[in-house]
Amino acid sequence: MKYAKNSSQSKLFRNHCLLSAIVLPGLLLSSLAVGQTIPAEKKITAEATVSEETTVNVASVDATDLPQADEAVAASQTATPVLDAAAEARSDAVRTFARASADKLDAADRSGVAALYEDRGYKSLWVKEGVLRPEAKALIAEIRQADRIGLNPADYSLPMLDSATGTTLSDAAAFDADLQMSLAAVRYVRHLASGRLVPRSVSASLDINPERPDAKAVLADLNDAGDPVAKANAYQPKHPAYLALLKELQDLDQKKAEKRIVVDAGKLLRPGMSDPRVMQLRARLKVDLPAAEPVGEDVTATPVDENLYDETLVTAVKDFQKKSRLTQDGIIGPATLRVLNGETGIERKSQLIVNLERWRWMPKDLGAFHIMANIPEYRVYVKRDGVVTHTTRVVVGKAEFKTVAFSDEMEYFVVNPSWGVPQSIIRNEMLPSARSSPGYFTRKGYQVFAQIRGRSRQVDPSRVNWRRVTASQISVRQPPGKTNALGRIKFMFPNKHAIYMHDTPSKSLFNKDARAFSHGCVRIQNPMEFADAILEQQKDWNSARINKLVGGKEVTVKLDKKIPVHLVYFTAIQNDDGGVGYLSDVYGHDRNMVKILGL
């Protein structure tokens, strides 16, 4: 703007005109904020003529030109735009909506929804002229059949609108329905992407932090998409195992209800035996009786022994055992029976649903090269680009010392490791043994340390009165050697649970089908082959070099690149043929989740 130069009278007159305009009766200062529309019934001239050459536009005057009104003008330039009555009512509705949270996750959903409405001027996102948009109707139809993907449609409070007739609503009711639709959509996507449950609410041994999608970003994505159903489904996990379980669930829904066939418990059923349970086994695996052999006219046909556990049925059992990660011996024992009959009280559909839930907890990116140990499967895998490059059997924690499910990164390995015995083992196992057999520590080759004059010093176990010692007073170390509990090597991914993978001198346990015997760590059957698999990109290191070090001093080797490690708990797994196999619920996580989810 231009002013008459060197004219104090002109400046005084200009200020007088501006102050007069600001205090005109019935018009607040905020009505003259930059870009604000002035109501027709209160319009005034926004320009005050000072001279023929000079005009002053109120909307462009700098606050420093008004010494007596600095604060008022500055406030007018930064104030929140005034909302009309309808928008103000919607703003109030959004604030009330945001405060009505039931828990932390719901609060985050509501906060994100409210933030998007505020950003978009409290305009409706799903309702137009009192009627649901076609995109909203499509998303509602999808949510109503959420059970197809293992979710519960009842978890989503959808707007009660008659989509067939397009019922017209008042502005307030339509906006409430809009908010309701937004919350349902955001919650549905959150459940698709990261599950319904907080893992640690199921068990402390499920230490997983699902990647929760940002509610505001989700709502913006859905609302801006031409196809919000496709956009919502894009939030689901992409892991092949998840997709296999999802297909299995949908296949189950399409099949007619079949009577569940249970094979009775009893003594071991071995190939060649005759047992009434063989007929149950044939029905369970869908293996027909063999046809009777053709005979001559004068010879009576020998009847087929329907109770004979013959070679055809043995082959079917071995195939089942292979898919279920069991020993392929054809013997029907407790482990094979558990998998054949399924977990007591848990239907296959429920088992699939809780396993889909646990897949939704998993990181979206497992790592192009990663290690995964599945606890109920008692097996570890090394994978590159989705292809298994190595697998071997493992031993996991007992039920009272559960191996924790979590994700971390392997950073180094140790050859000839010593073992620092955990306090829980010292307290619950070693001290009772030492009290009943004073030579226990010496016989087992353990070193005992105690705090003496402020320093940790090794003590002679034979000179200690173990009846007067508590676990907190000592520490125990097992030096490297053939009998060391960690074997020749351990693989470290430092974590708060003190869980790692290691060799073991107790090899016989790997011959068992159920292998929950450790105190929580993961014992590996073939650690040197496992080392070769994970060291394929490690310069100058392989099992041959490691074996040359075995029997010597303790050596720590840092990996050139950290490797993602996932300890997981899946009792429904993808088989090599793409189908699904079922495992025993060793820690009871399936049962807990079925109960919590009300399945």
Active-site residue 502, yes or no?
A: yes
Q: In Å, how far are 151, 376, 377, 467, 583 from 588, measured between CA atoms?
A: 21, 10, 14, 37, 12
The pLDDT value recorded for residue 301 is 60
The pLDDT value recorded for residue 62 is 41
Higher per-residue confidence, 350 vs 165: 350
* Mean pLDDT score, 528-538: 94
Annotated catalytic residue: which of 191, 390, 521, 589? 521
Would you place residue 294 in the very low, low, confident or very high pLDDT band (cuts 50, 70, 90)? low
Annotated catalytic residue: which of 191, 370, 390, 502? 502
Tell me: the pLDDT tens digits for 454-466? 889 999 999 999 9
Would you place residue 305 in the very low, low, confident or very high pLDDT band (cuts 50, 70, 90)? confident
Alpha-carbon gap, residue 446 to 433, rounded angstroms? 13
Whether the per-residue pLDDT at 525 is higher than 70: the answer is: yes
Would you place residue 353 in the very low, low, confident or very high pLDDT band (cuts 50, 70, 90)? very high
Cα 504 to the center of its chain, rounded Å: 31
The pLDDT value recorded for residue 327 is 86
Chain mean pLDDT for the chain:
84
Higher per-residue confidence, 304 vs 443: 443
Higher per-residue confidence, 313 vs 85: 313
Domain boundaries, the chain: 8-78, 85-236, 348-418+483-597, 419-478
Higher per-residue confidence, 338 vs 273: 273
* Mean pLDDT score, 384-407: 97
Would you place residue 41 in the very low, low, confident or very high pLDDT band (cuts 50, 70, 90)? very low
Would you place residue 59 in the very low, low, confident or very high pLDDT band (cuts 50, 70, 90)? very low
Amino acid letter at 267? K
Within 8 A by CB and 6+ apart from 445, the residues are 478, 479, 481, 483
First-to-last CA distance in the chain?
73
Total length of the chain: 599
Active-site residue 390, yes or no?
A: no
Lowest mean pLDDT among 73-87, 237-251, 372-386, 413-427: 73-87
The CATH number of 348-418+483-597 is: 2.40.440.10
Tell me: the pLDDT tens digits for 177-200? 999 999 999 999 999 999 999 999
- Answer yes or no: are the C-beta atoms of 352 and 545 closer than 8 Å: no
The pLDDT value recorded for residue 382 is 98
Residue 88 tokens read as 């103000």
Higher per-residue confidence, 459 vs 338: 459
- Answer yes or no: are the C-beta atoms of 378 and 392 closer than 8 Å: no
Tell me: the pLDDT tens digits for 472-495? 999 999 999 999 999 999 999 999
Whether the per-residue pLDDT at 544 is higher than 90: the answer is: yes
- Among 234, 189, 185, which Cα is nearest to 210's? 189
The pLDDT value recorded for residue 253 is 74
The pLDDT value recorded for residue 441 is 94
* Mean pLDDT score, 525-545: 94
The pLDDT value recorded for residue 340 is 86
The pLDDT value recorded for residue 160 is 75
Residues of the chain above pLDDT 90, percent: 66
Whether the per-residue pLDDT at 166 is higher than 80: the answer is: no
Would you place residue 11 in the very low, low, confident or very high pLDDT band (cuts 50, 70, 90)? very low
